[in-house]
Each structure stands twice: as C-alpha cells, then as structure tokens.
Amino acid sequence: MAKLIQTEEETLLSEAARGFLSKFAPVSRLREMRDAGECNDPELWQEMAAAGWAGVLVPEAAEGSDMGHAAAHVLAREMGRNLTVSPFLSTAVMAATLLRQFRDETSMGKLKQIASGALTYAMAIDESAKHSPERVELIAEKRGNGYVINGKKRFVVDGCEADRILVLAKSNDGLCLFDLPNKSKGISQEPLAMIDSRDAADMVFDDVEVSGEALLGEVGAGYALLKPALEAGQAALAAETTGLAEAAFDLTTDYLKERKQFGITIGSFQALQHRAAHLWCEIELTQSAVLNAGRILDESPDQATLAVSVAKARATDTAQKSVQEGVQMHGGIGMTDAFDMGFYMKRARVAAEWLGDYGYHAGQVAQLRGF
C-alpha cells in the first residue's frame, strides 16, 4: 500500500488549496453568508471547478482532473479548516463516485458537467433523524415504462439548490436508485434553518412521475450502487471534520499562549496543558485514520468499509472534543457570536450526524471486527 504520509503532490495541493480558500472562502465568508441569509456561493463553486476541484473524482475521459480520493481529502480538510460552504461533498465526491460506475454516454455527459461546474447534485437518502441508508419507505411504483414515486426524504444536504438529486427508493423488487431533476413536478423542498447555516432540505415526493431512464443500473441494485458513493462521502466528510478539529485546536492553543489571568498566560497551567496535549494526540490518531481511508479508497475501494468507518467515527469524536474544549478553554469569549469558535461547533454537530454518527460507524467497525 502507498505510504501513510502525504506525497509531494498532496502537499502542493494542500498549499494551493490553503491559498485559494484564504482568499475566496475563509471563515469570514461563512459569517457574511450567514448574515445575508445565503447558504450557497455559486461563484465560488465556479472557481473551484476551474481549479479542477469539482472534477477531482471525474475520469479524464469526462474531462475531470481525476486526482483520486486522497486528493479529495486534502481539499476537504482545507475546506474544513475554513468552514468553506460548497457542494463539494454531495457533487464532486458522492455523485461523481456514483455516476462513474457507469460508462454510458448519459453518465459521462453528467460527469463532464459536474467537472465543469455546470451541474450540482444532492443525495436524497435518509428518511429518519439518524443515518440508516437501507431503511427506505419512499415507494417507487412501476407504471408503464416508468415509475411513480411517493414518500419523504429528510436532511437532504444541498437539497434546495442542487440541480439534480439521487434518490434511493423502495420498489417491489428491491431498492432502486433514481437520478432526477430536483425541480421535477411533484417534488417539494422544505428548506431547513440549519445551525451550520448551510443548505439542507426535507423533501416530499407526491406522485412524482419519472421515466424508466431515470433509474440507474438494475432494479434492486440501488444500495449496492450507492454504497461506494456513501463511503467516499463519509471519508471525505471525515477529512473535512478533521480539518475543522485542527483549526479549532489551533485557535485554542493560540489563545492559551496569549490570554493572561492571575498575571500569567493561562497556557502555563498544567490543567490546561494536559488537556490540550491530549487533544493533540486525538487529532494525530484521527489524521492517520483519514490518511489510511484515502489510500484504501484509491487502491481497493471494495474493501474500504472498515477504514472509512474508523475514519468517520474518529473524526466525529475528535471534532466534537476539539470544539467543546475550544469553547471551554476560551471561556466567555468562546460563547460569543463575534468569535468564530461557535461556527466550528455548529458545523461539527451537523457533520457528526451527516452520513452516519459515531454510533453508526463504531457499529460498522464492531461488526467487521467480530464483535
């Protein structure tokens, strides 16, 4: 297996991403958008597409940069550090991973549009408050050559603004995956006022009529098709969350070195030093898990479940610890809206739930490890 250290290209990519994001999408940009009531930044996405980010997992045959999962993680991690808002995970990671399983003209056309920034996607998977991708009640009923879809989806990230949605539905012959225009007749999006100020929606499907061409792959193969996309998304989200944890930790250690109480910097108190040192250890372990997941996804994606779940579980846990310790060690100022720590905390909570929380992924690990 490739080594668990960043390659030279990955280091260059992360430096480039850092420069790009500090210019176009730092934390202050999220604050601006939040204050303006916006949760999408289409111009930024065009810039990212121009830089090859939107096509990071799109094959070269479809004009993507096809840099692979580890590279996608480098980008996601930097976005996590900056709390950057973009459809990167839904579109560039999950939809691209899903669609590239097909090599037909239609799919290649969509991939091409993803890479160019012309097409965004949302994943309409979950139906309850917890990630449970195989628990599907949304019904797709065969009618003529097509289907009629009825039911509900919850917590569809990027669900308001995405051009298309990938929908997992139940048919008489097992789970099916549909690729639909988001604005199809009969689909209504209810925007959610998310704590992390991002785009998410609950969706109602009311007699949505779709043609047979909207079905991806075989009837009954819906979950098998979806799984690699979900795992790619989970790993990239773990990378983003790790970046978030690092940035919150950096804010905290800077503050420990600067804030004075009792006439000395609070970072000289052992009670705080040991907590900070412990957190650093947690972040180190999580970084290893993310690196490992990227390598496995690039080398043997069909064996990635364990590596991905370790990464997502660890990243979820580490980010929560980092933001909680961050607020506590900052004291009162950490509670103010004027200070950025709150943004990190809110994003960490949303990222914890999306695509499976700690319990979901630890459960996957336990199952694979013979518990």
Partner 1 sequence: MAGVRRSKVMGEVDAGRDYAEFRREVRDWLEANCPPEMRDGAAGEDSICWGGTSWTFTCAAQKTWLDRCVERGFTVPTWPRAYGGAGLSRDEDKILKEEMQAIGARSPLDSFGIWMLGPALLKFGSEEQKLHFLPPIARGEIRWCQGYSEPGAGSDLAGVQTHAADQGDTWLVNGQKIWTSYADRADWIFALLRTDREAKKHLGISFVLMDMRSPGITTRPIQLISGASPFCETFFENVEVPKTQVVGTINRGWDVAKYLLTHEREMISNGGNVMGSGRALGAVLSDSDTGQSDPVLRGDAMRAEVDSLALEMTLERYKDQAEGGQGVGDASAMLKYMGTELNKQRLELIMAADGADGLTWGESAASSWLRTKANSIEGGTSEVMLSIISRRILNLPG
Chain residues binding partner 1 by CB under 8 A are: 1, 3-5, 253, 256-257, 264-265, 267-268, 270, 273-274, 276-278, 280-281, 284-289, 291-292, 295-296, 299-300, 303, 306-307, 310, 313-314, 361-363, 365-366, 369-371
> Which one-letter DSSP state was computed for residue 3?
-
CB of 104 to partner 1, least distance (A): 31
Give the residue among 290, 307, 366, 371 at the shortest CA–CA distance from 77: 290
CB of 16 to partner 1, least distance (A): 22
Pairing of strands 200-210, 264-265: unpaired
CB of 264 to partner 1, least distance (A): 8
Q: Where are the beta strands (DSSP E) in the chain?
A: 121-124, 139-143, 146-157, 164-171, 174-181, 187-191, 200-210, 215-216, 260-261, 264-265
Distance, in Å, from the CA atom of 342 to the CA atom of 289, rounded to the nearest integer, reads 26
CB of 369 to partner 1, least distance (A): 4
Cβ closest to partner 1, residue 11 vs residue 172: 11
Cβ closest to partner 1, residue 110 vs residue 361: 361
Residue 68, exposed/middle/buried by CB under 10 A (0-12, 13-18, 19+)?
middle
Cβ closest to partner 1, residue 9 vs residue 206: 9
Distance, in Å, from the CA atom of 222 to the CA atom of 252, rounded to the nearest integer, reads 44
Looking up tokens 């720590």 gives: 341
CB of 234 to partner 1, least distance (A): 14
Asked if 282 contacts 251 with a C-beta cutoff of 8 angstroms, the reply is no
Cβ closest to partner 1, residue 125 vs residue 355: 355
Cβ closest to partner 1, residue 81 vs residue 154: 81
3 state DSSP class of 2: coil
Distance, in Å, from the CA atom of 249 to the CA atom of 234, rounded to the nearest integer, reads 22
Annotate 253-270 with DSSP letters as a single string.
HHHHHH-EETTEEGGG-H
CB of 14 to partner 1, least distance (A): 16
CB of 301 to partner 1, least distance (A): 11
Question: Among the residues of 37-148, which ranges form H helices?
Answer: 42-50, 69-82, 96-99, 105-116
Cβ closest to partner 1, residue 15 vs residue 258: 258
Cβ closest to partner 1, residue 137 vs residue 284: 284
